[in-house]
Chain A
Amino acid sequence: MFKKLFLIACLMTSLFAFEKENIQKQMSDNIHQVLNILKDTNITKKDKSEKIITILDKSFDYNIMSMLALGRAWKTISNEQREEFSNVFIKRLKESYIDKLELYNDQKIKIANLKENKSRLILNTILVGKKENYPIDYKFYENRKNNQWYVYDVNILGVSIIQTYRKQFDEYLKEKTIDDLIKYLKEKNLKA
């Protein structure tokens, strides 16, 4: 009986989830919503960012993104440092992502296709620019506990955001401490 109950409960959860079959449609909806917000001239830049972030929050797994960006150093730092790093990094990440989207204000976007690569999914999208097309790929992993899919990395022009941060952080931490890095990111956030 309990098993059945659990099963049904699980099935019902999926009504709210980001499932494999829905990824393409839902992401496409999200991206179009984001572009509509960007195009809207009636809202301030700050409101725009907030609205976009609300949409992104549904599908981005920021926790795993901060872990992946910090790489091997993640395991060596304290819980407080982890939390502090995540906070500043996520802020940086969101800002940098929105900043890039602003490039394509008045252009179209095409959702190309969804590829399966081992246990990950990659959604290819193309921003159609005036002179060039800019590919942006969203990479999803399946969360083992609730079987939902989250974005863990974004490739812009074929280059992984997490990868570039990771290499840079790793290099930075060879000479400096995690607290320096947190301080550095904080300053960068203030400037942006």
Chain B
Amino acid sequence: MRKITILFLFLSFFYACNAQNFENSNKDDVAINQFDDISNEFQDSYEDDFDPLSGYNRVMTSFNDGFYVYVSRPVIKTYKDVVPSTARKGVSNFFTNLGFPIRFINNLLQLKFKNSWEELQLFVLNTTFGIAGLINVAEENNFNLRYHDEDFGQTLGYWGVGEGFHIVLPILGPSNLRDTFSLFVDEYASPLKPEDKSFYLTDSTDKSIGLKTFKTVNSTSYTYPVYDKLRKDAIDLYPYLKDFYNKRREEQIKE
């Protein structure tokens, strides 16, 4: 019995020492066994999507990409290099604060009352103590308040409205029927809409476009490296970006 026990221990030890190798050599055939099982989680090809605008979308995607590479990217990079980080942060805070009505209303419309309440607190705090939103007071003081980005497209998605077909917008990039329509709806709640009322900041289209461009350049100065890295993975840019947009929106609606 003793002999067996020793042999046993010896073998076990030996076995354990070789565990790593054992596991590597076995990975292959195990993988084949479980391949079909896991494979079901994924889809093949883009074909099944309804894409009536695909011709136009492709052209617009290459236009946008060219515009990005030769126009917006150099501008944004220069802006990032020239403007100090604190200033960019202030601008970003300011515009985020201005986005309050859109987020507030859409959180309400999705029955996310707690989030709406947080948005309201942030808006009051940052507008008053944060000098019209330039400083995110809540963040500086580690208050447990955060933004809940919701737009009308997400609200419609929340209530089960489908995305419709894909539309690539000039300069703005991938979108779909639902989200394009929603852009116009959200515009009414945005202080950047040009209209001669006290709620809106500008009364002319030129000023409005100027502010919106400034807002976009500033916010993209944070995010453009992400796009740079992602587009490297593309074999065919249009379907890749389209898919990426769809998945991302699905995730945002689920949140």
A12 to B23 alpha-carbon distance, docked (Å): 13
**Inter-subunit contact B12/A8 (CB<8 Å):** yes
The distance from the CB of B50 to the nearest CB of chain A, in whole angstroms, is 16
Q: Which residues of B contact A1 (CB under 8 A)?
A: 4
A167 at the interface (CB under 8 A from B): yes
Q: Is the CB of A158 within 8 A of B34?
A: no
The digit string for A28-46, where 1 denotes a CB below 8 A from any CB of B, is 0000000000000000000
Segment with Cβ contacts to B, from A19-27, A47-55, A108-116, A143-151: A143-151
Interface size counted on chain B using CB atoms at 8 A: 50
Q: A160 at the A/B interface (Cβ < 8 Å)?
A: yes
Chain B residue with the shortest CB-CB distance to A1: B4
The residue on A at minimum CB distance from B89 is A130
With CB as the reference atom, state the residue of chain B lying closest to A95: B232
**A74 to B182 Cα, complex, angstroms:** 42
Contact check, B42 vs A162: say whether CB atoms are below 8 A apart.
Answer: yes
Q: Give chain A residues whose Cβ lies under 8 Å from the Cβ of B39.
A: 67-68, 71
- The reply to whether the CB of A190 lies closer than 8 angstroms to some CB of chain B is no
Given contacts A16-B20, A71-B44, contact A164 B244 (CB under 8 A): yes
Q: 8 Å CB contacts to A: which residues of B17-40?
A: 19-20, 22-23, 26-28, 30-35, 38-39
Kindly identify which residue among B11, B226, B233, B244 contacts A103, using a CB–CB cutoff of 8 Å. B226
Q: Are B35 and A68 in contact (CB under 8 A)?
A: yes
User: Is there contact, CB below 8 Å, between A168 and B223?
Assistant: no
Contact A166 B247 (CB under 8 A): no
B198 at the interface (CB under 8 A from A): no
Cα separation A13 to B42 with both chains bound (whole Å): 32
Closest to B33 in A: A144
B220-255 to A contact mask, C-beta < 8 Å, 1/0: 001101100100111110011001100110111000
Residue pairs across A and B with CB atoms within 8 Å: the count is 144
- Chain A residues near B38: list those with CB within 8 A: 64, 68, 141, 152
Contacts of A152 in B (CB 8 A): 38
Q: Kindly list chain A residues whose C-beta atoms are within 8 Å of the C-beta of B225.
A: 103
Residues of B within 8 A of A146 (CB): 22-23, 26, 30
Query: In the complex, A143 Cα to B13 Cα: how many Å?
Result: 22
- Take A16-B20, A67-B35, A145-B26 as given contacts and tell me if A168 and B240 are in contact as well, using a CB distance cutoff of 8 Å: yes
Q: Are B42 and A163 in contact (CB under 8 A)?
A: yes
Query: What residue of chain A has the Cβ atom nearest to residue B254's Cβ?
Result: A158
Complex CA–CA separation, A36 to B243 (angstroms): 33
In the complex, per-residue mask of A117-160: 1 if CB is within 8 Å of any chain B CB, else 0 = 00000000000011110100000010111101010100001111
Taking Cβ atoms with an 8 Å cutoff, the residues of B that contact A are 4, 8, 11-13, 15-16, 19-20, 22-23, 26-28, 30-35, 38-39, 42-47, 89, 92, 219, 222-223, 225-226, 229, 232-236, 239-240, 243-244, 247-248, 250-252
The 7 A-B residue pairs with the shortest CB-CB distance, nearest first, are: A158-B251, A12-B16, A131-B222, A64-B31, A9-B15, A170-B44, A170-B45
A and B contact pairs by CB, cutoff 8 A, 23 listed: A5-B8, A8-B8, A9-B12, A12-B13, A12-B16, A13-B22, A16-B16, A64-B31, A67-B35, A68-B35, A71-B42, A72-B44, A131-B222, A143-B34, A144-B34, A152-B38, A161-B233, A163-B43, A168-B234, A170-B44, A170-B45, A171-B235, A171-B236
